[in-house]
Amino acid sequence: MGKIEQGVEFTGSIGNFTAYRMWGIDGIVVRKKGGVSKERIQGDPQFARTRENNAEFSGRSTASRRIMKMLRPLKPLADYNIAGPINALLRPLQLDDAKYNRGERAVELSKHPELLEGFSLNRKILFESIVQAPLSFTLSRETMSAEVVIPELMPGINFKPFGKHALYGFQAVLGMVPDLFFTPDGYQPSDEKYPYNAPVIVAASDWFPCVSGSPATRFELKYPFTPPNNQFVLMLSIGIRYGYPAKGNGVDQAKHAGAARVLKVV
């Protein structure tokens, strides 16, 4: 994949090349059309390794979609496409699996939950560069619950909001992601009781003036699901969003503004 920095502003197809814009990337991305046919990849013995790689990539993609579902309330705060980086984080996990054959290696986050800890939904302005005070939090698999405490924030001291926003608030998000295993029908959880549309628990604070800061804020979250086994992880995330006054004493959230990160995974 090539990227045009300047000089060419077209998008679309010309000859054997396609040019397009991608969210989170400056400039225009260019790639060459064509490649090996789908039929040959599926049946030619020379592409056995490719089929194995494709199968495992599919497993990581399925896991990435489940992770992103648990981050959905915070995705409006992201400043780049997080799908690819999440997929890349899962690859070492799959490579570490010695139990299954290549092409069928599992995505068992419960073995290495720390891989996702600290994952940022931002590259330009990070959560910790705005909230410059340590958060305290707990996350329990036994009780399927979490607690987050954000200390008192004082502008210019431990709170440095980015941009000219009037208001800010916090969101704490609790989600569950099951381990995934290869099956003839694609990668699936170890038990059918793990729902694809698993609930996402969100707790939101009041809106606070950016010029005034905020008192200590505490969130308690409880996940309403009893897992059938231990092949899952709980993921706790936090985000700061900005807003502005709306009609009727309401608040509208500012688009593409704020920051979020994964706090803890167990």
The pLDDT tens digits for 22-51 are 666 667 777 765 565 556 545 555 555 666
Are 135 and 233 members of one domain? yes
Are 184 and 161 members of one domain? yes
Domain around 51 = 38-265
pTM score of the predicted model = 0.82
Q: H or E element: which one contains 96?
A: none
> Is the pLDDT confidence value at 109 over 70?
yes
Are 140 and 256 members of one domain? yes
Are 7 and 92 members of one domain? no
Are 23 and 71 members of one domain? no
Retrieve residue 53's tokens: 């790689």
Burial 188-209 (b: 16+ CB within 10 A, else e): bbbeeebeeebebbbbebebbe
What confidence tens digit (pLDDT) does each residue in 152-200 have? 999 999 999 988 899 999 999 999 999 999 999 899 999 999 998 999 9
Are 27 and 99 members of one domain? no
Other beta carbons less than 10 A from residue 102's beta carbon: 14
Are 95 and 17 members of one domain? no
Are 165 and 223 members of one domain? yes
Q: How high is the mean pLDDT of the chain?
A: 88
Are 27 and 42 members of one domain? no
Q: Please give the tally of structural domains in the chain.
A: 2
Are 179 and 235 members of one domain? yes
Are 135 and 246 members of one domain? yes
Are 98 and 56 members of one domain? yes
